[in-house]
């Protein structure tokens, strides 16, 4: 292969989220915000996703939030993260009153709330600031039954690069392999991560490549010179592989989810990363049992 398209979370980064200093909307109690964020989380302790896990663990830093959660809340329904709405939603009740709690992409959460323009502007500015610092943010909001949505604030999360990622990328480049990062995160976050990894900062929104009005040759040239793409969905991965192959590149692709299976099968070398679903493993040429990119380099050296 001469191009490796890699996931960000858990492959280039450590998949060890931590919540940094949050932004709390004016007049909102930070303990209420964290309680609502925890209520908008799965209670299946055995299979918590990283976002729900770090949200619930962060409540330990706010004793009053824990007190709120211990008042006898009941979960009526729970909807896990939806890539279309970009939110997690739960309907909960306390003393006969229902509340809809949500956390998700800041923009998606902001669209729900009927807040003042000043509050909305400050919220957007904070989201941008967090993104430029490499933080992935979760907006938090709540709606009491019969009332309007209330914007509570935003929790910035940081997932540090793996210790060996930068050196592994440099080694891959020395072996003649171009590494491109594909992530569902916002463009600003993706660029900051690429800076940390010395991967380059030519990172574009996937929409520019897939439906940005570029003709075939221009889109291919953009893809070749790009260091990464942001706001990527599984279907974009397939298109990336297809376009690179059309331009004569032997392309490897990493993936872990059921929806990644088509792109993994299409790639010249499909790589199921550590913890991948059975569907992703079945569609891949190589299955890794350890996290990170370093194993990929070991495989290349063995093949050579």
Six-digit token string for 296: 């990929």
Distances (CA, A) of 280 to 58, 143, 255, 266, 287: 32, 38, 7, 12, 9
Identify any residues that bridge with 98 across adjacent strands, giving them in sequence order: 93
Distances (CA, A) of 108 to 124, 130, 248: 11, 16, 39
Could you give the residue numbers annotated as active site? Answer: 7
At 153 the three-state DSSP class reads strand
Identify any residues that bridge with 140 across adjacent strands, giving them in sequence order: 103, 153
Residue with tokens 């009332």: 147
Q: How far is CA 165 from the centre of its chain?
A: 18
In the chain, what are the helix, strand and coil shares in percent, each to the nearest 5?
A: 40, 25, 35
Please state whether beta strands 149-158 and 23-24 pair in parallel, antiparallel, or not at all (unpaired): antiparallel
The helix (H) or strand (E) run that includes residue 23 is strand 23-24
Per DSSP, 45 falls in state G
């Amino acid at each position: 292969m001469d191009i490796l398209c890699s996931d960000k979370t858990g492959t280039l980064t450590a998949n060890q989220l931590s919540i940094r200093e949050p932004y709390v909307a004016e007049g909102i109690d930070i303990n209420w915000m964290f309680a609502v964020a925890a209520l908008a989380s799965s209670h299946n302790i055995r299979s918590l996703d990283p976002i729900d896990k770090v949200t619930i663990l962060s409540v330990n830093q706010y004793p009053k939030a824990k007190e709120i959660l211990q008042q006898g809340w009941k979960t009526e329904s729970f909807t896990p993260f939806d890539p279309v709405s970009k939110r997690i939603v739960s309907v909960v009740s306390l003393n006969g009153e229902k509340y809809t709690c949500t956390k998700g992409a800041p923009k998606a959460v902001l669209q729900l709330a009927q807040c003042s323009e000043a509050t909305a502007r400050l919220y957007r500015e904070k989201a941008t600031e967090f993104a430029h610092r490499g933080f992935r943010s979760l907006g938090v909001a709540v709606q009491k039954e019969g009332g309007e949505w209330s914007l509570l604030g935003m929790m910035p999360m940081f997932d540090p690069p793996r210790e060996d990622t930068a050196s592994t990328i440099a080694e891959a480049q020395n072996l003649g392999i171009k590494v491109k990062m594909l992530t569902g995160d916002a463009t600003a976050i993706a660029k900051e991560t690429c800076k940390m990894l010395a991967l380059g900062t030519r990172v574009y929104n996937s929409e520019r490549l897939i439906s940005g009005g570029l003709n075939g040759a221009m889109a291919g040239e953009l893809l070749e010179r790009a260091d990464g793409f942001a706001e990527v969905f599984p279907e974009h991965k397939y298109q990336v592989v297809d376009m690179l192959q059309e331009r004569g590149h032997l392309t490897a692709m990493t993936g872990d989810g059921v929806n990644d299976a088509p792109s993994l099968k299409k790639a010249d070398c499909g790589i199921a990363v550590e913890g991948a679903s059975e569907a992703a493993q079945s569609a891949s040429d190589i299955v890794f049992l350890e996290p990170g990119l370093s194993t990929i380099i070991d495989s290349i050296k063995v093949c050579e």
